[in-house]
Amino acid sequence: MTIENLTQFLGWTSIINAIILLLSTLGIVTRKEVITRVHARIFRLNEQDLGRAYFQYLAQYKIFIIGFNIVPYIALKIIS
C-alpha cells in the first residue's frame, strides 16, 4: 500500500465516521425520549444514566475519529 492510497483511505474513513457521528448526534438530540425509553427497557438502566452514556459515547467516538483518522491523515498529507 502506498502513502497515497493510505492517505486517501484515511480521508474517506474520516468523512464516513464524521457522517456517522453527525447522524448519531442528530438522532440522540431529536429522538432522545424514544431512544432513551427503548434502551432503558432493553438494558434496565435509569434514564439519567443513559443521558450520560450517550454523551460519553459521542465524546469517545469523536476522540477516536480525531486520533485514528484525522491526525494520521494530516500527518500523511504533510509528509507526502
Grid coordinates of 50: 443513559
Question: What integer pLDDT is reported at residue 11 of this predicted model?
Answer: 98
pLDDT at 57: 96
Which pLDDT value is given to residue 47?
86
* DSSP structure string for 47-73: HHHHHHHHHHHHHHHHHHHIIIIIHHH
Q: What's the confidence (pLDDT) of residue 48?
A: 86
Determine how many CB atoms are found less than 10 A away from the CB of residue 37: 13
**Per-residue model confidence (pLDDT) at position 37:** 92
pTM, two decimal places: 0.88
**Structural domain boundaries enclosing 60:** 3-79
Q: For every one of its 80 residues, what pLDDT tens digit does the chain have, with 9 covering 90 and above?
A: 899 999 999 999 999 999 999 999 999 999 999 999 999 999 999 988 899 999 999 999 999 999 999 999 999 999 98
R_g over Cα of the chain: 17
* Total domains present in the chain: 1
